[in-house]
């Protein structure tokens, strides 16, 4: 039997924004989705002098943004080796650089607008639990270093010294990573965008987007709004408005637990099992741990319900954490939740103007790595709408690689 999912990130937030009671009649741009992508896009549009209206069917950050593991992961979604094989060195480094741009923007925005989102830059340890993974970790470190990227290899002895755990065989250490409170970041960006004259409307469900002779009509459950451009920032659920994306962006449910505050065990964030499991320890001592969807018979693929827990995944998360780290054997689990990710076949998001559909833009399909992409992606889309494109969208992100009809 399943039980309800309650996200630690969403529990204390005031996320219901409404710039004005009635839906505006017109907007320069309508941004559909009130997560990190939608709010980043709205902020940059406002910064560039346009008037966007953000429409969110629930409350701010109520989708994947407010239900993730709190990671900001630099680099490629794929392993560095796989990305090199699929895209070559130049495009792989462009992907890496894009996340570094996003990180720099994150620093600047949180400083400029005094956004307190528990942002903490840290190292990332990627642990191996099988001999094959250990070999892959070592090769990955060597490959990254050979191309000028910072990485460090830990053997089994050094891993045990740093984790109080004998389960891991090796680790790759990357010096650039961050953790944050994602919903607080969205709220901070929303306030900054609103100050720049963006309109933010929560609890407004978009039912259809219709192209007109000039611009678009966006039909919602609270009336219609006219716009010159539309941005789809709805990640896994984008196909509801763009049916040609059915099967291109696939919904996948992730599950996460949060422990009670405990003694500080790690001075780094970490992932294991090729990233299928991932964790941070917050400065308040809580460990946020997600993954284990492979425990489910469906692998949680094609599931859109984020209100329920999968008990097999739940048991897997709790058992792994308690059995792997002796100090956590009796740790209490205070929160558990699910969130819907949007996966693409090549593990890269779709960012840019839709081919053959001028005025329609998308940033979605993050494959579980939206936080390090969305801020720079929002700026790139806003610049293109404003006619001042400066931020380069990496080739592996561009919509042209998929047939969108």
CATH number of the domain that residue 319 is part of? 3.30.9.10
Report residue 299 as tokens. 């692998």
295 and 377, same domain (yes or no): no
358 and 293, same domain (yes or no): no
3-state SS class at 257: strand
Report residue 49 as tokens. 């002098």
99 and 173, same domain (yes or no): no
Domain ranges, residue 269? 121-177+250-343
167 and 49, same domain (yes or no): no
21 and 114, same domain (yes or no): yes
Final residue of a structural domain among 324, 343, 362: 343
Q: Are 339 and 67 in contact (CB under 8 A)?
A: yes
Report residue 343 as tokens. 């996966």
Q: Are 187 and 36 in contact (CB under 8 A)?
A: no
> What is the model's pLDDT at position 1?
31
pTM: 0.95
301 and 185, same domain (yes or no): no
Number of domains in the chain: 2
> What is the model's pLDDT at position 382?
98
Among candidate residues 93, 45, 40, the one with its CA nearest the CA of residue 396: 93
Final residue of a structural domain among 343, 361, 396: 343
Give the H/E segment covering residue 186: helix 182-195
CATH number of the domain that residue 391 is part of? 3.50.50.60
**Rounded distance, CA 331 to CA 265, Å?**
13
147 and 135, same domain (yes or no): yes
Strand-strand pairing, 120-128 and 250-259 = unpaired
Q: Are 5 and 336 in contact (CB under 8 A)?
A: yes
100 and 142, same domain (yes or no): no
Q: Which residues pair with 223 in a beta bridge?
A: 220
Secondary structure (DSSP) of 16-66: --BSSSSPPSEEEEEEE--SHHHHHHHHHHHHTT--EEEEESSSTTTTGGG
199 and 267, same domain (yes or no): no
Q: Are 34 and 200 in contact (CB under 8 A)?
A: yes
Give the H/E segment covering residue 161: helix 156-163
3-state SS class at 287: strand
298 and 390, same domain (yes or no): no
Final residue of a structural domain among 328, 343, 358: 343
173 and 194, same domain (yes or no): no
Q: DSSP strand E in 304-387: where?
A: 333-343, 350-353, 360-364
- pLDDT tens per residue across all 405 residues of the chain: 334 578 999 965 566 777 777 899 999 999 999 999 999 999 999 999 999 999 999 999 999 999 999 999 999 988 888 899 999 999 999 999 999 999 999 999 999 999 999 999 999 999 999 999 999 999 989 999 999 999 999 999 999 998 888 899 999 999 999 999 999 999 999 999 999 989 999 999 999 999 998 899 999 999 999 999 999 999 999 999 999 999 999 999 999 999 999 999 988 999 998 888 999 999 999 999 999 999 999 999 999 999 999 999 999 999 999 999 999 999 999 999 999 999 999 999 999 999 999 999 999 999 999 999 999 999 999 999 999 989 999 999 999 998 655
263 and 386, same domain (yes or no): no
**Rounded distance, CA 339 to CA 318, Å?**
18
């Amino acid at each position: 039997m399943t039980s309800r999912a309650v996200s630690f990130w969403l529990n204390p937030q005031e996320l219901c924004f409404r710039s004005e009671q009635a839906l505006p009649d017109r907007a320069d741009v309508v941004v559909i989705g009130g997560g990190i992508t939608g709010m980043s896009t709205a902020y940059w549009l406002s910064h560039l002098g346009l008037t966007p209206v953000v429409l969110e069917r629930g409350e701010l950050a109520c989708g994947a943004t407010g239900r993730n593991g709190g990671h900001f992961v630099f680099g490629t979604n794929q392993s560095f080796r796989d990305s090199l094989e699929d895209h070559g060195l130049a495009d792989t480094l462009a992907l890496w650089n894009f996340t570094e741009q996003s990180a720099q923007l994150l620093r600047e925005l949180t400083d400029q607008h005094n956004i307190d989102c528990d942002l903490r830059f840290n190292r990332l340890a990627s642990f191996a639990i099988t001999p094959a993974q250990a070999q892959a970790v070592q090769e990955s470190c060597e490959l990254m270093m050979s191309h000028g990227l910072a990485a460090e290899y830990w053997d089994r002895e050094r891993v045990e010294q740093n984790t109080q755990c004998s389960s891991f065989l090796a680790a790759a250490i990357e010096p650039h990573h961050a953790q944050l409170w994602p919903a607080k970041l969205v709220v901070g960006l929303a306030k900054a965008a609103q100050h720049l004259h963006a309109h933010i409307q929560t609890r407004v469900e978009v039912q259809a987007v219709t192209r007109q002779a000039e611009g678009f009509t966006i039909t919602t459950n609270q009336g219609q709004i006219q716009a010159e451009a539309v941005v789809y920032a709805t990640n896994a659920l984008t196909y509801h408005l763009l049916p040609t994306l059915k099967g291109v962006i696939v919904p996948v449910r992730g599950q996460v637990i949060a422990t009670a505050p405990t003694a500080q065990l790690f001075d780094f964030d970490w992932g294991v099992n090729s990233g299928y499991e991932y964790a941070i320890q917050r400065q308040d001592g809580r460990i946020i741990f997600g993954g284990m969807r492979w425990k489910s018979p469906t692998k949680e693929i094609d599931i859109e319900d984020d209100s329920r827990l999968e008990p097999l995944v739940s048991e897997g998360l709790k058992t792994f954490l308690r059995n792997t780290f002796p100090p956590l054997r009796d740790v209490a689990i205070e929160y558990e939740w699910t969130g819907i990710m949007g996966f693409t076949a090549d593990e890269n998001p779709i960012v840019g103007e839709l081919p053959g559909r001028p005025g329609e833009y998308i940033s979605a399909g993050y494959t579980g790595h939206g936080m390090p992409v969305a801020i720079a992606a929002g700026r790139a889309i806003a610049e293109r709408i404003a006619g001042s494109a400066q931020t380069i969208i990496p080739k592996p992100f561009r919509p042209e690689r998929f047939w969108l009809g």
